[in-house]
Structure 1
């Protein structure tokens, strides 16, 4: 059953008025009925008490005639049904009965006699106040008919109900008029305007009065209608837009017959429109492509394929389709979009070649660094050996200045040896890399702490290691990584303050754009309470041979953190530093839990190449 808004509002008002009037009727009837009952009881009680007062003399002297007259006078009251007078012992002195239509109610009252009390055996002065003493000498019982009271109550109820009914009818009429006025002046113009708009009259606008929500709705409708009218365009306009597209647009039926094609497609393929309309799209590309889109119901998925021009030229394109369904959900049109990627393919091939050349150049450079540093070892050892020999055999023949020169040469040789060892260590990250395997970082750090046991004892340091996740990594390089970081924390500690180093883990998701190919990562923090550094040097410290302190202050070559950065790069991770001078440092390692198969393949290729070169 369909109800209009006016009917719904009328029903709502009727319900509200009915409930309100029912409550008011109940309240007023209860109040007025109670007042009548109280008034009736008060009158009956007054009559009974007056009758008892008048019966005092008759009861004292036993004058029944007097009592009879009093009873007859009492029965002149229209609602008195019967009266009974009793003495103190309960003996009925006078009784008058009658009949009543309906219920009766009895009221009773004791009859009292007043006597003056005076001292026994004494005379009382005439002007003396003598106390009055009351004592019961009998009782009276009067029955009152309730029919008059009931009639009054019924009359009051009728009057109240009539007033409530008239008030309800008047209120409903006013409410109905207000609703009708509201519908005719607010909702009806809105409904009428919407009907005209849906019938195609896009220029129709609604004229609303007032400033309420309905008027605001009319204004919003007018705004929507104006914007919608501006967006509705003709078929010719749509064709112009399609022909102005830079990408190829081809619309086919589900059977593959071409029904629309734009100028960009015609220019790329060398056809004119009449040669392709109504023809199979299979003359341009494989029909199986369209079938895959229809079966998969995946719209807008780009694939790389080829398309054949009129002259047989094979053109690489980025191809996508969108399946259009009818009202029943059945596919009936396929919109195909193709973008010529010939130039992109050329660029990709060039980049691939350049990348291959760059990898070869980097490998040659790494091999050169390794070989150069390796070949420098022998002449350096000879310089050190001969300087030691000169110092030991000819020390007595050489003056103090010559010995100083020899000491300087030996120290320079030791520094050169340390630099070569560091350079070898740096180059081995790529040239001597091992395949990625699943490793336990807690076990790796435990081995590192064993190697650093003497330095920990010397500095009084303490290393706190939390529970770390197992990851796929090069175990040797992970050990080198943590040995450099923990070793630096022990080296750069505050004087007279025992170093405290904490290693713990945080779970994260996609921390950097270059790690998007990985599903899960771990973040490991290496934190110390050392001397710290200014964060403006947070990138400089990862450059090779870069130092923030002189060799006299702290030993080292300045290559340790560069090695750490290169290890993290090889593991598709990152390392950053955060620090405040005098408050310690934090080194944040972000690394995937699993490495890609491509990286593992490269590691195996490097291992094979290294084995061949060693042999």
Structure 2
């Protein structure tokens, strides 16, 4: 019986490769067998959300079947379980969205930013209505880009501007200017602003300046990646107590 050699290689995950002993020389192992990052994240998200859904389902079942036999503290514990599951599910969804943005290679096309800003508002309709928020959009240019990513860009900035805003009502204004070969789109709000010491870090993934539940800390990181995908830059200016301005500079 011939002798065999076994090699274990790590390429994102481990693969066991068994080769005859007479094979010599350098072998070119590529990433061909490794699923793309987006596929991996989607599969991982599916596997993570399955147990989370079961945890939440059983917690709700306990309340429905035995709620009248539980004291207030026990019901509160079950509520904490349910809210924690919701928070984790949101994080998984946001992380999947973030990775899709990093790996997106959809061809660009001519897009009207006015229609994309409107679509973003409609996607946040319930939240905007609940807060009686006012979003004013001045005429915006037509550019070359990804409709999906740019709609996501507006939605992320609008959501931050409304949610992290204690003003009554929250107000958001979108303006555009041209300078040389660049367009600049600025979204300003009347929120509580960001401390200067944190301004340089606000686009870091998972940085949560405000600890309110329901948000993963990926919003501005995602917006920054979308700007970069369009060969643009994101500038953020803020004054505590007076609001924040997010400016997207992009080539014509």
Normalised by the size of structure 2, how large is the TM-score? 0.78
2:216 paired residue among 528, 553, 557:
557
Residues 29-428 of structure 1: matches in 2 within 5 Å?
364-428=36-100
1:417 Cα deviation from its structure 2 partner: 0.9
SS at match of 2:202: helix
In the alignment, what sits opposite 1:583? Answer: 242
CA, structure 1 residues 539+370, in 2 after alignment: closer, same or farther (shift >3 Å)?
Answer: farther
Q: Say whether the 8 Å CA contact 1:542–1:562 is kept in structure 2.
A: yes
Counterpart-to-counterpart distance in 1, 2:102 and 2:42: 10
1:454 Cα deviation from its structure 2 partner: 3.8
1:366 Cα deviation from its structure 2 partner: 4.4
Higher strand fraction (1 or 2): 2
* 2:105 is the counterpart of 1:444: no
In the alignment, what sits opposite 1:429? Answer: 101
Q: Say whether the 8 Å CA contact 1:367–1:431 is kept in structure 2.
A: no
In the alignment, what sits opposite 1:535? Answer: 196
1:529 Cα deviation from its structure 2 partner: 1.8
Q: Say whether the 8 Å CA contact 2:132–2:169 is kept in structure 1.
A: yes
SS at match of 1:379: helix
* 2:171 is the counterpart of 1:490: no
1:464 Cα deviation from its structure 2 partner: 2.3
Which of 1 and 2 has higher RCO (CA within 8 Å, sep 6+)? Answer: 2
1:364 Cα deviation from its structure 2 partner: 4.4
1:560 Cα deviation from its structure 2 partner: 1.0
- 1:317-352 Cα distance to aligned partner (Å, 9 max, x none): xxxxxxxxxxxxxxxxxxxxxxxxxxxxxxxxxxxx
Counterpart-to-counterpart distance in 2, 1:565 and 1:479: 14
1:493 Cα deviation from its structure 2 partner: 2.4
SS at match of 2:217: coil
1:549 Cα deviation from its structure 2 partner: 1.8
CA, structure 1 residues 363+523, in 2 after alignment: closer, same or farther (shift >3 Å)?
Answer: farther
SS at match of 1:540: coil
Higher helix fraction (1 or 2): 1
Counterpart-to-counterpart distance in 1, 2:160 and 2:107: 27
1:418 Cα deviation from its structure 2 partner: 1.1
In the alignment, what sits opposite 1:92? Answer: none
Count residues in correspondence.
222
Counterpart-to-counterpart distance in 2, 1:407 and 1:440: 44
Normalised by the size of structure 1, how large is the TM-score? 0.34
* 2:230 is the counterpart of 1:571: yes
In the alignment, what sits opposite 1:501? Answer: 172
SS at match of 1:556: coil
1:451 Cα deviation from its structure 2 partner: 3.0
Q: Say whether the 8 Å CA contact 1:531–1:584 is kept in structure 2.
A: yes
Counterpart-to-counterpart distance in 2, 1:521 and 1:420: 35
Structure 1: any 5+ residue segments left out of the alignment?
1-356, 510-519, 594-615
Counterpart-to-counterpart distance in 2, 1:443 and 1:399: 51
What root-mean-square deviation, in Å, do the aligned CA atoms of Structure 1 and Structure 2 show? Answer: 2.5
Counterpart-to-counterpart distance in 2, 1:363 and 1:574: 30
1:400 Cα deviation from its structure 2 partner: 4.3
1:401 Cα deviation from its structure 2 partner: 4.1
1:503 Cα deviation from its structure 2 partner: 1.1
SS at match of 1:587: strand
